[in-house]
């Protein structure tokens, strides 16, 4: 009898700790792409949030029409929740429905959130908003497709973000985040559609990802500390950019960033650091760009500390951002312009500790040129020396 009691207690313990699974279909969501499923998705979240056990929310195959969603974990019994997305989440065709929201889908105040789905698609249907923006009409700013805010231990795997209204993925104020096997797809002329944007976050990694979009493949904002990017294909797009920095006079810096084994194809830039031409307390240091291939890239390597679009709020000023300890090693391929390395640093805060090693770029089958101002450091193995 005692052994049976022990066995019962054991199985009760196992069952109480095992994960619960909730399918959005069981809450009335219809996978027809026409019926608004926002209320049903939020009902699933409310139920999952109330559980004291690990929870998986399942989105099966099909198309689910959704307005903006805010998955807030601040009142959840357990902060660790998993989303398995096998189907397609679809934003309303009318961009005005979510166009004034910051996010279409937002996860915040969570500890241990996983969103995965090999075959799962987030279709923001942003093309009509792009058309509005390029026409010069008065349009909404547009919503970021999916954001993670004020969270830790975040995993995003296997998802495809399609035609975002604005940014595709945003990581803001998070710690310990991993994105792997993600795809970003948007037209090369789509405005403000950064693939992955990181800011005010630490210990973030991006692996085995393909990004084709109309703005930066990855943009790295102030307050980023400890970012690892590896095995990424970028193009079309504006490259991998640290910045723009220095938009505010008081700003956190960017540090400890490694970009490794990345292929840039037909992009506007490759490895880029940019800052506004105005005073700021920010900085960028301990940056590594390693083993990168450039295929017909306009600016394969560029530091621009005189960023001043439309000459607004910064004419005749210089950047206060301090850029130091930046390594470019084994960067090779083809430049679409004559100047393959352009380091345009600030006269007030010159770039220091720049290292160019084994940078081999060609322009029309000849070594590409370099143009450097207010930049100091060491170079080795360059086709065009005397830059630093």
The yes-or-no verdict on residue 313 having pLDDT over 90 is no
291 is catalytic: no
Q: How far are the Cα atoms of 273, 289, 293, 295, 340 from residue 360, in angstroms, in the given order?
A: 20, 14, 10, 12, 9
Residue 341 lies in a domain: yes
Nearest to 252 by CA among 295, 212, 284, 218: 284
Task: Please give the model's pTM, rounded to 2 decimal places.
Answer: 0.94
Q: Rounded mean pLDDT of 257-278? A: 96
- Please indicate, yes or no, if residue 72 is contained in any of the structural domains: no
Give the pLDDT mean for 315-332: 91
Distance in angstroms (rounded) separating the CA atoms of residues 384 and 378: 13
pLDDT score for 308: 84
Considering the candidates 80, 109, 238, 374, report the single residue annotated as catalytic.
238
Answer yes or no: is 20 within a domain: no
Residue 25 lies in a domain: no
Assess contact for 288 and 257: CB atoms under 8 A: yes
Q: How many domains does the chain have?
A: 1
Is residue 239 over pLDDT 80?
A: yes
Q: Where in the sequence is the domain holding 363, given as residue range(s)?
A: 81-380
Q: Which DSSP string corresponds to 299-356?
A: EEEEEEEEE-GGG-S-TT-----EEEEEEEEEEEEEESSSEEEEEE--SSS-EEEEEE
Cα atoms in the 13 Å half-sphere on the side-chain side of 243: 30
Could you tell me the CATH number of the domain that includes residue 213? 2.160.20.10
pLDDT of residue 18: 63
Q: For residue 244, tell me if it sits in a domain.
A: yes
Band of residue 11 on the pLDDT scale cut at 50, 70, 90? very low
- pLDDT, residue 78, reads 77
Could you tell me if residue 123 is inside a domain? yes
Mean per-residue pLDDT of the chain: 92
- Domain assignment present for residue 56? The answer is no
Question: What does the alpha-carbon distance between residue 382 and residue 94 come to, in Å, rounded to a whole number?
Answer: 52
Position 386 scores a pLDDT of 64
Q: How confident is the model at residue 292 (pLDDT cuts 50, 70, 90)?
A: very high
Q: Are 112 and 88 in contact (CB under 8 A)?
A: no
As a whole number of angstroms, the distance between CA 132 and CA 294 comes to 33
The verdict on residue 5 lying in a domain is no
pLDDT of residue 387: 80
């Amino acid at each position: 009898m005692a052994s049976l009691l022990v066995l019962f207690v054991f199985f009760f313990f196992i069952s109480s700790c095992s994960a619960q699974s909730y399918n959005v279909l069981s809450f009335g969501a219809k996978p027809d792409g026409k019926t608004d499923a926002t209320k049903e998705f939020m009902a699933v979240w409310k139920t999952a949030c109330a559980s004291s056990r690990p929870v998986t929310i399942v989105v099966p195959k099909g198309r689910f029409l959704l307005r903006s969603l805010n998955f807030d974990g601040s009142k959840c019994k357990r902060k660790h929740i998993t989303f398995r997305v096998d189907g397609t989440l679809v934003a309303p065709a009318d961009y005005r429905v979510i166009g004034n929201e910051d996010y279409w889908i937002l996860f915040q105040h969570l500890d241990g959130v996983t969103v995965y789905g090999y075959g799962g698609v987030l279709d923001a249907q942003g093309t009509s908003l792009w058309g509005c923006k390029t026409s010069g009409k008065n349009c909404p700013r547009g919503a970021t497709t999916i954001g993670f805010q004020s969270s830790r231990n975040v995993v995003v795997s296997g998802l495809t973000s399609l035609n975002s209204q604005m940014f595709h993925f945003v990581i803001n104020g998070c710690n310990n985040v991993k994105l792997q096997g993600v795809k970003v797809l948007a037209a090369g002329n789509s405005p403000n559609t950064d693939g992955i944007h990181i800011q005010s976050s630490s210990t973030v990694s991006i692996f085995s990802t393909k990004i084709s979009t109309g703005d930066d493949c990855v943009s790295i904002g102030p307050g980023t500390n400890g970012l690892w990017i590896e095995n990424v294909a970028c193009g079309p797009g504006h490259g991998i950019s640290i910045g723009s920095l220095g938009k505010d006079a008081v700003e956190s810096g960017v540090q400890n960033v490694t970009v490794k084994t990345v292929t840039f194809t037909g992009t506007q830039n490759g490895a880029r650091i940019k800052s506004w031409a105005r005073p700021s307390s920010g900085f960028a240091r301990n940056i590594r760009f390693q083993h990168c291939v450039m295929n017909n890239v306009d600016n394969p390597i560029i530091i621009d500390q005189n960023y001043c679009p439309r000459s607004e709020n910064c004419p005749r000023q210089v950047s206060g951002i301090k850029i130091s300890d930046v390594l470019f090693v084994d960067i090779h391929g083809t430049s679409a312009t004559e100047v393959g390395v352009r380091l345009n640093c600030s006269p007030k805060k010159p770039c220091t500790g720049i290292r160019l090693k084994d940078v081999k770029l060609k322009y029309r089958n000849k070594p590409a040129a370099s143009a450097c101002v207010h930049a100091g450091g060491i170079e080795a193995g360059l086709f065009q020396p005397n830059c630093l």
